[in-house]
Amino acid sequence: MSLSPQEAASTLSDVERAARRSGQAYGYRRASPHLIVWGLIWVVGYATTDLRPDYANIIWPALTLLGVALSIYVGRCAGATDSGRYRSIWRIMALVLLAFVFIGATYAIMRHVSGPQQGAFVPLLVGTIYAGMGLWLGARFVVTGLAVIVLTLGGYFFLQEHFLLWQAVVGGGALILAGLWLRTV
Amino acid sequence: MEQPNPIIHQPVRLKIMSALKVLPPNDAIEFVRLKAIVAATEGNLGAHITTLEEAGYVAVEKDFVGKRPRTRIALTKQGRRAFEDYVAYLRDIIDAEPKAAQ
C-alpha cells in the first residue's frame, strides 16, 4: 500500500490539526493553575486594600512575591522537565520584573495616579496581555482577557465607591473561574 | 520508507501520535484529555493505545491522584522517531509530485 500525493497531503493535514488541538490543550493545562493562583492573589490583595488602603504599598509587593513563589511551585507540580522547569522559573521572574518596571515607569510618567486608577491599570494590562496571547495560544485566553478588561472597566466607571471590593470578588473570581475553565479541555 | 508505517497510519493512532508529539519530551497527557483531543470513545482509544504501547511507541503510566485513578500517556523516544519518519514519508510523497508531473 502506498499513498497518493493527495492522500499524503490529507493525512498531513490531519496530523497538523490534531497537533494544533493538543498544543492548545497543553497551553491551557499549563496556564490553568497560574490563573487560579493570581485570581486568589487578586481576591486577597484587593479585599485587604479595600479594608486598609494605607497598607497598599506593603500588601501588594508582599502578595506579588507570594504569587511568584506559588507560580513557580505550581509550575513545578505541573511536571515540567528539569531543563524546562529551570527555564520557566527564570522566565516567570523576568516577566514579573519587566511588569514591575513597566508599571512603575508608567506611574512615574503619569504622576498623581489615584488608588482606583492604580487598581484598574494593572488588571487592564493583564487582560490585554491574556487577550493578545490568546491570538496565538487559543480562544479561551482571548475570552479571559476580554472578560477581565470589561469587568475592570465596568467596576471602575459604574461602581467606583466599591471598586476595590468589586475587583476582589469579580476580577479575582473571574481569573479563578477562567483557570478552572481551562482545566476542562 | 516505501510503505506507510501500518501502526501509525491508522487514523485514530495517527491522531494519538500527533497529539503526543507536541508535548515536551518526558511530559505526558492524561487519558481523559487525550480522549477529548482525539474524539474517540474510551474503549476505542484504550485499544489503540495498547497497540501503540506494544509497538514501544508510547508509555502508559497509571497512578492515583488522591483516591482517583489516573492514566497518563507519553511518547517514547522510539515512538517520536517513528512518527518523525512517518511525517517525513508523507512529505516525500507530496514533494515528489511536481517532479513526477514534469
Question: How do the domains of chain A map onto residue ranges?
Answer: 5-182
Q: What is the pLDDT of residues A46-99, one digit of tens each?
A: 999 999 999 988 999 899 899 989 988 887 776 555 455 556 667 777 887 888
What is the residue-wise DSSP string for A155-172?
Answer: HHHH-GGGHHHHIIIIIH
Residue B101 CA: distances (Å) to CA of A4, A6, B95 = 13, 14, 11
Q: Which domains does chain B have, with CATH numbers?
A: 6-101 (1.10.10.10)
List residues of A whose CB lies inside 8 A of any B CB.
Answer: 1-5, 8-9, 11-12, 14-19, 21-23, 25-26, 29, 79-81, 84, 185
Say if the Cβ atoms of B93 and A84 lie within 8 Å. Answer: no
B34, with CB counted inside 10 A (0-12, 13-18, 19+), is buried
Looking at residue B4, what is its pLDDT? 86
Give a three-class secondary structure readout of B31-85: HHHHHHHHCCCHHHHHHHHHHHHHCCCEEEEEEEECCEEEEEEEECHHHHHHHHH
Which residue do the cell numbers 467606583 mark?
A160
pLDDT in tens, A153-162: 999 999 988 9
Q: Do B4 and A79 touch (CB under 8 A)?
A: no
| Span A8-25, pLDDT tens digits | 999 999 999 999 989 888
CA A60/CA A37 separation, integer angstroms: 14
What digits encode the pLDDT tens for the residues A88-141?
A: 667 777 887 888 889 889 988 988 888 889 889 999 999 999 999 899 888 999
In chain B, which residue's Cα lies nearest the Cα of A28? Answer: B33
User: Which pLDDT band holds residue B1 (cuts at 50, 70, 90)?
Assistant: low
Distance CA B102, CA B99 (A): 5
pLDDT at residue A57 in the model: 87
Q: Given this model, what pLDDT does residue B78 score?
A: 96
Any idea which residue has 465596568 for its cell?
Answer: A154
Which pLDDT value is given to residue A48? 96
Chain B residues with CB under 8 Å of A11 CB are 9, 14, 90
Give the per-residue pLDDT at A162: 92
Helix or strand run (H / E) with residue B102: none
CA B36 to chain centre: 14
User: Which residues of chain B does A80 touch, with a Cβ-Cβ cutoff of 8 Å?
Assistant: 24, 27
Q: How far apart are CA A165 and CA A67, in angstroms?
A: 20
Partner residue facing B18 (CB), from A1, A18, A80 = A18
CB contact under 8 A, A2 and B3: yes
